Amino acid sequence: MSTHGSRRRFLTHGAAVASSLVMPSFRVAAADPVRMRAVWWGGQDRAKRTNEAIQIFEKQRPDLKIATESTAWADYWTKVATLVAGGNAPDVLQMDYRYLVEYAKRGTLMPLDAFIPKLLDIQDFGANNLDSCKVDGKLYGVNLGINSTATFVDTAAFAKAGLPLPTYQWTWDDMSRMSQEITKSRGKGFWGCMDSGGGEPAFEVFARQHGKDLYTADGKIGVDADLTAAWLDYWQTMRKANGCVPPDVQALDKGSTDSSMLVLGKAAIDLRHSNFLEGFQLAHKEKLGITMYPQTKGGKWGQYIKPSQMMSVAATTKNTDLAVALTNFLVKDPAGTKVLGIERGVPASPAVRKMLSPDLSEVGRAMVDYIALINDKVSPLPPAPPTGAGEIQKLLNRQNQKVGFGQATASVAAKEFVEESKRILG
């Protein structure tokens, strides 16, 4: 790495020498603009809103230029890792709860506690919303919006099958039964439910309903083979009963809005996160409903409220104050938050929520109401996912596919899942 550093230094020095030789007068005439970079993942709507907000921030400071980039979730982490490794970490980067520990513990992110309240006016977020962005007691991210897991349903499909819309009290058995009826009520190529057996958030909620966290506080796998087998078996039963989409259809779901089973018009029930509701509704012609994930009969509350995303500042940024100011602008300044709206989830600041409230669309209101509804039906935030959690997510998907395609029984796949998880998490 030392060669890398010296090469960079050589290049910058070289460039500086060259430019001072060629155009000495320019330097006096116009000061170099301060350049910063901001990156995030997400769809088109988010890119449009975020770019617009950042442009407003730029206009307030004439010699500031902010380059922005957004990618899909699946490509985002490889991109950020590459940028960081190459010594090109963006000044401001969107962070996820799953990766926060990974990046914070490795010294990539700047602790932000010292900037509160002067540059970062976020005390009104409340202890919960601040603590959920902390690692080892230090704040490494700023909550961009609150969300939780949520079930989206195609209301027209429910009406067609003569079913009432599910309420927050519905159970996994209810979901299975309703899904089968919806499949029956429709022609070929449409099923009741997506196949969420490989979905880590859904499995986590299921495990918590059974009193287990997916990860323990010391970063080990928190579920055993029996519980995993019960989960994989639930979905295998669902598949056999034609309640959910077949595995080769589900395999095309890349986790993005536009490849989801609900938006593609292949299923009526989709297990997601609440902040996706607006994007899903934009892409779906029928009216969508929102409710909690199914419950386990006699079980505990499994869901929790978490930051949907955070903004983090890179430890290597040369413009710390500006980077922090931009972050503050996006979560607290009315000029920025108005543009961003609730696309990233319900804002953590009560003042911002109040300001946005009159202008909310019907979908936006449904989402805010949903978070209000579940507020007393959630359990505390689980321990932060350990390093390697991203791999566990993919592992679960593979094991679920193995069961779906008939390459392993639920109990064998579950045993493999637990063993492999132990190997990954060490």
Q: Which residue, 106 or 297, has its beta carbon nearer to another protein? A: 106
Q: Which of 274, 349, 401, 421 binds another protein (CB under 8 A)?
A: 401
Rounded to the nearest whole angstrom, what is the least distance from the CB of residue 81 to another protein in the complex?
Answer: 5
* 106 in contact with another protein (CB under 8 A): yes
Q: Which of 12, 44, 55, 407 binds another protein (CB under 8 A)?
A: 407
Would you give the distance in Å from CA 241 to the centre of its chain? 31
Rounded to the nearest whole angstrom, what is the least distance from the CB of residue 217 to another protein in the complex?
Answer: 22
- Which residues inside 289-348 make contact with another protein, applying CB under 8 A? none
* 6 in contact with another protein (CB under 8 A): no
* 258 in contact with another protein (CB under 8 A): no
Check: CB of residue 188 under 8 Å from CB of residue 265: no
Q: Which residue, 62 or 107, has its beta carbon nearer to another protein? A: 107
Stretch that binds another protein, among 168-176, 204-212, 364-372, 393-401 (CB under 8 A): 393-401
* 84 in contact with another protein (CB under 8 A): yes
Stretch that binds another protein, among 226-234, 300-308, 369-377, 387-395 (CB under 8 A): 387-395
Q: What angle do CA 405, 407, 411 make, to 5 degrees?
A: 105
* 281 in contact with another protein (CB under 8 A): no
* 131 in contact with another protein (CB under 8 A): no
* 82 in contact with another protein (CB under 8 A): yes
* 11 in contact with another protein (CB under 8 A): no
Q: Which residue, 77 or 301, has its beta carbon nearer to another protein? A: 77
Rounded to the nearest whole angstrom, what is the least distance from the CB of residue 138 to another protein in the complex?
Answer: 17
Q: Which amino acid is at 43?
A: G
Q: Which of 47, 81, 230, 360 binds another protein (CB under 8 A)?
A: 81
Radius of gyration of the chain (CA): 23
Rounded to the nearest whole angstrom, what is the least distance from the CB of residue 154 to another protein in the complex?
Answer: 19
Rounded to the nearest whole angstrom, what is the least distance from the CB of residue 74 to another protein in the complex?
Answer: 5
Taking CB under 8 A as the rule, which mask of x and - marks residues 178-207 in contact with another protein? -----------x------------------
HSE, side-chain direction, 13 A CA sphere, residue 265? 8
Q: Which of 47, 119, 135, 251 binds another protein (CB under 8 A)?
A: 251
* 418 in contact with another protein (CB under 8 A): no
* 390 in contact with another protein (CB under 8 A): yes
HSE, side-chain direction, 13 A CA sphere, residue 375? 9
Q: Which amino acid is at 255?
A: G
Q: What is the 3-state secondary structure (H, E, C) of the chain?
A: CHHHHHHHHHHHHHHHHHHHHHCHHHHHHCCCCEEEEEEEECCHHHHHHHHHHHHHHHHCCCCEEEEEEEECHHHHHHHHHHHHHCCCCCCEEEECHHHHHHHHHCCCECCCHHHCCCCCCCHHHCHHHHHCCEECCEECCEEEEEECEEEEEEHHHHHHCCCCCCCCCCEHHHHHHHHHHHHHHCCCCCEEECCCCCCHHHHHHHHHHCCCCCECCCCCECCCHHHHHHHHHHHHHHHHCCCECCHHHHCCCCCCHHHCCCCCCCEEEEEEEHHHHHHHHHHCCCCEEEECCCECCCCCCCCCCEEEEEEEEECCCCCHHHHHHHHHHHHCCHHHHHHHCCCCCECCCHHHHHHHHHHCCHHHHHHHHHHHHHCCCCCCCCCCCCCCHHHHHHHHHHHHHHHHCCCCCHHHHHHHHHHHHHHHHC
* 412 in contact with another protein (CB under 8 A): no
* 27 in contact with another protein (CB under 8 A): no
Stretch that binds another protein, among 16-24, 178-186, 280-288, 384-392 (CB under 8 A): 384-392
* 228 in contact with another protein (CB under 8 A): no
Check: CB of residue 161 under 8 Å from CB of residue 320: no
Find the distance separating the first CA and the last CA of the chain, reported in whole Å. Answer: 27
* 85 in contact with another protein (CB under 8 A): yes
Q: What whole-number distance in Å separates Cα of residue 336 and Cα of residue 160?
A: 42
* 247 in contact with another protein (CB under 8 A): yes
Number of residues that bind another protein (CB under 8 A): 35
* 107 in contact with another protein (CB under 8 A): yes
* 59 in contact with another protein (CB under 8 A): no
Q: Which of 11, 16, 74, 165 binds another protein (CB under 8 A)?
A: 74
- Binding residues vs another protein (CB under 8 A): 1, 3, 74-75, 77-78, 81-82, 84-85, 102-103, 106-108, 189, 247-249, 251-252, 254, 259, 387-388, 390-391, 394, 397-398, 401-402, 405, 407, 423
